[in-house]
């Protein structure tokens, strides 16, 4: 389609057609996926649903390679790879000139269960839906409630989203929601969304969700990611990656591929910012440890 034609298509219609197109591609290669967020949200949970600006799907991790190849063959381009997408490295973003952006989730932030088993839990309780008249699937109502709550935790609760979702559930539904949270090992993020994060201060993911839900510096974010890593190897890889420049983000910022000098300049800026953040954090800790009054002398004069 020409750019003029695309601009005349209402955004909601474009999103709906994009969802259907992605479903067709997934069906052709036999990849299972669930449509999430936006207009795919059940109205029983949120009366006012945000249409969003892109398509979001959570995909069977085993089927991602086949889906990736099929998307590229149909004109989609990788906009941001998994490892550069967020602190959780949960989604890979694609762009199509006609259909916009697509987020392919291999996991959902806040779920501690490994990606494959977590998808199977969500898939087993899927519900039927339609995108532009085409049959597709969404998470069941209980899973939608959990995912909405976990998503809210990443933005300081996203206003009252977590509370609104909880209020929409009756007692049996709330019990089912909490049971699914336990099954998915999603207690820390769920607590963060409801303002009860401190009760999980002993968990390795605590600092990561403190930064995600309450904000923090880039240095704090990387430290949190290292602490949340499951293995020593993951921690070492994260520490080595921390000072590196995200060339994808720099490319989007510049509107073109960055030159070597620009990458070096960004590296210097990032390193300097990191050192300043560490120094500021150290000074803050020292100030907290310094008593207001000098210690009293003991013994004779």
What CATH number should be reported for the domain holding residue 130? 3.30.460.40
Q: What is the pLDDT of residue 300?
A: 40
- The answer to whether residue 278 sits within a structural domain is no
- The answer to whether residue 22 sits within a structural domain is yes
- The answer to whether residue 294 sits within a structural domain is no
Q: What is the pLDDT of residue 137?
A: 98
Q: What is the pLDDT of residue 281?
A: 56
Question: If phi over 0 gives left and psi between -120 and 50 gives alpha, with beta otherwise, what is residue 37?
Answer: left
Q: What is the pLDDT of residue 289?
A: 61
Tokens read off for 148:
């909405």
Looking at the structure of the chain, the number of domains it has is 1
Q: What is the pLDDT of residue 295?
A: 47
- The answer to whether residue 222 sits within a structural domain is no
- The answer to whether residue 242 sits within a structural domain is no
- The answer to whether residue 85 sits within a structural domain is yes
Provide the residue range defining the domain that includes 70: 1-140
- The answer to whether residue 170 sits within a structural domain is no
Question: What is the residue-level pLDDT of the chain in tens, covering all 301 positions?
Answer: 545 555 677 778 889 999 999 999 999 999 999 999 988 999 889 766 566 779 999 999 999 999 999 999 999 999 999 988 788 999 999 999 999 999 999 999 999 999 999 999 999 999 999 999 999 999 999 999 999 999 999 876 456 889 999 999 999 999 999 999 999 999 999 999 999 999 999 999 999 999 999 988 888 888 888 999 888 898 888 787 777 656 667 677 777 777 776 666 765 666 566 556 555 655 665 666 655 544 444 444 3
- The answer to whether residue 300 sits within a structural domain is no
């Amino acid at each position: 389609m020409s750019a003029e034609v695309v601009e005349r298509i209402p955004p909601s219609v474009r999103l709906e057609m994009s969802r259907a197109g992605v479903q067709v591609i997934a069906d052709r290669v036999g990849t299972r996926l669930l449509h999430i967020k936006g207009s795919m949200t059940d109205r029983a949970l949120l009366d006012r649903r945000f249409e969003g600006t892109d398509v979001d799907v959570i995909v069977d991790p085993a089927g991602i390679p086949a889906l990736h190849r099929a998307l590229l063959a149909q004109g989609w381009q990788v906009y941001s790879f998994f490892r550069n997408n967020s602190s959780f490295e949960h989604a890979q973003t694609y762009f199509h000139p006609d259909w916009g952006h697509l987020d392919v989730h291999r996991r959902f932030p806040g779920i501690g269960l490994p990606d494959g088993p977590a998808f199977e839990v969500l898939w087993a309780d899927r519900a039927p839906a339609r995108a532009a008249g085409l049959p597709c699937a969404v998470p069941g109502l209980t899973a939608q409630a959990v995912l909405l709550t976990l998503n809210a935790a990443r933005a300081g609760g996203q206003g009252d989203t977590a509370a609104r979702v909880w209020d929409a559930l009756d007692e049996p539904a709330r019990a089912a929601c909490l049971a699914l949270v336990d099954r998915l090992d999603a207690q820390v993020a769920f607590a963060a969304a409801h303002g009860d994060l401190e009760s999980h201060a002993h968990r390795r993911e605590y600092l990561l969700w403190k930064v995600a839900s309450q904000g923090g510096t880039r240095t704090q974010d990387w430290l949190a990611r290292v602490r949340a890593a499951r293995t020593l190897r993951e921690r070492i890889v994260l520490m080595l990656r921390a000072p590196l420049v995200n060339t994808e983000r720099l490319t989007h910022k510049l509107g073109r591929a960055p030159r070597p000098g620009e990458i070096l300049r960004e590296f210097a800026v990032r390193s300097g910012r990191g050192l300043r953040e560490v120094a500021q954090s150290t000074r803050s800790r020292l100030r907290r440890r310094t008593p207001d009054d000098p210690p009293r002398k003991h013994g004779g004069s």
